[in-house]
Amino acid sequence: MFDFLLTEAQKELQNEAIAFVKEKVPKQLILDMDEEKVVYPVEYLKDLGRANLLGLRFSPEYGGRGLNWVDEIGVLEEIGILGTSLACLYSLPSIVGEALARFGSEDLKQRYLKPTLEGKIYTAEALTEPRGGSDFFGATTVAVRHGEDFILNGQKRFVVGAEGADYFMVYAKTNPEGKSHESMSAFIVDRGPGVEVGHVYGLMGTRGGGAGRVVFKDVRIPGKNLLGQENRAAEIFYQMMIPERMTSAAGALGMARAALQVATAYSTKRKAFNHTIKDFQAVSFKVADSITRLDAARALVYTTARAIDSGVPAAQGRRLVSEAKKFATNTAWDVVNNAMQIMGGIGYTNVFPIERLLRDIRLIMIWTGTNEVMDLIIQHEYYKELKTELLNHRLIEEDALNAHLSEEKVYE
């Protein structure tokens, strides 16, 4: 933890999260979720609501605390040590809440945001489709106007929380012939007639979070459940990149920290050749590498949180959020693999939680935009930033002895 980056109030909030994780989340829940004996942990979400830990960034009027991203990151890192499913379910009110708080009407905020943050109703985001996830504008789910309402048909897959959700945030084509950025709308869709959770997937990890396929068959959506403006869901989608990717990054910090703590503690007890294995550089250097990577990832995630809180330009925010998600999740994967290597064969068993954390962490490099998509965004935004830098800063290219030999600078 980077306590020195936090104010006293933020430290107190983080201590609330530490206490919640320690006292309110039984070991048996984690085990039962991993074995899929529990497919959706309702009591966990109710407890979070009662503790007023959900949707921290939103107004107290709707059940939040009116805080910022740095506050939420500090809490999410603590929740993250529980694994991907519990961290994701904690994050969903923040993710869907972003759309409701920024683009929803007062009616939607009262009917959905407030009870969600109170832990009384549960939500899920329905974005990915069977044909693809990163190709957002290639969606085939369609909502057709019918008077004041819309009729929704299509299907979404890999919807975390689908099994227990009372309502879904759904993206659908409302103007199929229009330009891609003017073709889609976003809706709040109640779980009701025509909404079917097709099945709960068998997953490598991240179990117990109710992930499923949601099928919509002639579902009538009241016009008042439209988020933002019709055919303007692109604006919502780009805004949603922030909570989706920041929550993934923060949860990754917690999971990496958990794996490293277990392995490092093990290295102080396990003996080989009459020495504790921490005395061997093959082990201790893995610890050194892991904590360095984790601290670097944490620094980037907290810096990004502060940047968003301070209102950086949207393009720079997109780059930073993408960097944070990519680097934190890749770091978590490297750290958990180092942890397993430190522990050897016993780390591959369920005597320790490393194998579960490894299975969980593998997913976070894929969801909320694959890390390859993060690379696309990062390079795209940096190339744009470079043009401004070259105009306003020292031309470093000229700081070479023969920089004047323009005939040697052949580009084609």
Gap between the Cα atoms of 113 and 108, Å rounded: 7
- Model confidence at 378: pLDDT above 90: yes
The model scores a pTM over 0.85:
yes
Note the pLDDT of residue 1. 62
Residue 144 forms beta bridges with which residues? Answer: 151
- Taking only the tens place, the pLDDT of each residue in 183-224 is 999 999 999 999 999 876 789 999 999 999 999 999 999 999
Mean pLDDT, the chain, whole residue set? 95
What is the total residue count of the chain?
412
Left, alpha or beta for 410 (phi > 0: left; psi -120 to 50: alpha)? beta
Q: Which residues contact 291 (CB under 8 A, 6 or more apart)?
A: 260
User: Which domains are present in the chain?
Assistant: 3-122 (1.10.540.10), 126-229 (2.40.110.10), 234-390 (1.20.140.10)
pLDDT band for position 403 (50/70/90)? very high
Residue of 342, 360, 350, 246 lying closest to 303 (CA atoms):
246
Q: What is the model's pLDDT at position 328? A: 98
The DSSP element (H or E) to which 275 belongs, if any, is strand 275-276
Q: How far apart are CA 152 and CA 195, in angstroms?
A: 10
Q: What is the DSSP letter of 110?
A: I
Given pLDDT bands bounded at 50, 70 and 90, which one contains residue 136? confident
CA distance 232 to 248: 25
pLDDT of the residue at 24: 97
Name the pLDDT band for 176 (thresholds 50, 70, 90): confident
Nearest to 324 by CA among 384, 258, 389, 251: 251
Q: How confident is the model at residue 143 (pLDDT cuts 50, 70, 90)?
A: very high
Distance CA 175, CA 195 (A): 22
pLDDT per residue over 52-90, tens digit each? 999 999 999 999 999 999 999 999 999 999 999 999 999
- Burial of residue 288, with CB atoms counted within 10 A of its CB: 0-12 exposed, 13-18 middle, 19 or more buried: exposed
Find residue 186's DSSP bridge partners: 171, 227
Separation of alpha carbons 128 and 368, rounded Å: 9
CA distance 62 to 262: 39
**Residue 238: Cβ within 10 Å count:** 14
Which stretches does DSSP call E strand in 105-260? 123-126, 142-146, 149-159, 167-173, 184-190, 195-200, 212-221, 226-227
Q: Judge contact between 284 and 267, C-beta under 8 A.
A: yes
250-264 tens-digit pLDDT: 999 999 999 999 999
Q: What is the pLDDT of residue 131?
A: 81
Distance CA 184, CA 232 (A): 6
> N- to C-terminal Cα distance for the chain?
50
Report which secondary-structure segment, H or E, holds 271.
strand 271-272
Contact of 293 with 115, CB cutoff 8 Å? no
Q: For residue 188, what are the contacts with CB-CB under 8 A and spacing of at least 6?
A: 100, 104, 108, 112, 167, 168, 169, 170, 225, 227
Residues 323-358 have pLDDT tens digits of 999 999 999 999 999 999 999 999 999 999 999 999
